[in-house]
Amino acid sequence: MTRLLSRRLPLLLTAIAGCLVSHPAAAWAAPAGSNLSVLLQAAGGQPLGLYDGVRFVRINASDGTRITVTINCEQELWRVARIEPRTGRADFRDDRFQSAAGIGRSRWCTTPVRTME
């Protein structure tokens, strides 16, 4: 189950983000093109830092799984970089970057974060 979920996670996160902003009230509250920003906010994302121009955000799932998302603010792209189940080994991802139009203007890209080495 974890393996199936990890393969489909980028698609699942994109679908959830689409649902969050498809409601008229949610769409009114969020600027157009900020689906990823809304998703990260709703999931309780926590900025980890900046490394080589890419920002890292951690999402703690309710089952104890930790998901690390990387955001390239300059090119407005994102991807799931790592999935750490509560039990078991971390799954390092090498998925293609997905579009994150508008993310460069969001707080995820404008808030100062620590530089990781």
How many folded domains does the chain comprise?
Answer: 1
What are the tens digits of pLDDT across the range 99-112?
A: 999 999 999 999 99
For 36-46, write each residue's pLDDT tens digit.
999 999 999 99
User: Would residue 116 count as lying in a domain?
Assistant: no
Asked whether residue 89 is assigned to any structural domain, the reply reads yes
Full residue range of the structural domain in which residue 18 is found? 2-110
Would you say residue 28 lies in a domain?
Answer: yes
| Residue 32 within a domain | yes
Does residue 55 form part of some domain? yes
Q: Mean per-residue pLDDT for 68-88?
A: 93
Instruction: Give the residue from 76, 95, 82, 66 showing the smallest Cα distance to 37.
Output: 76
Specify the CATH number for the domain of residue 17.
3.30.2310
115 lies in some domain: no
Q: Which helix (H) or strand (E) holds 8?
A: helix 2-22
Residue 11 pLDDT grade (very low, low, confident, very high; cuts 50, 70, 90): low
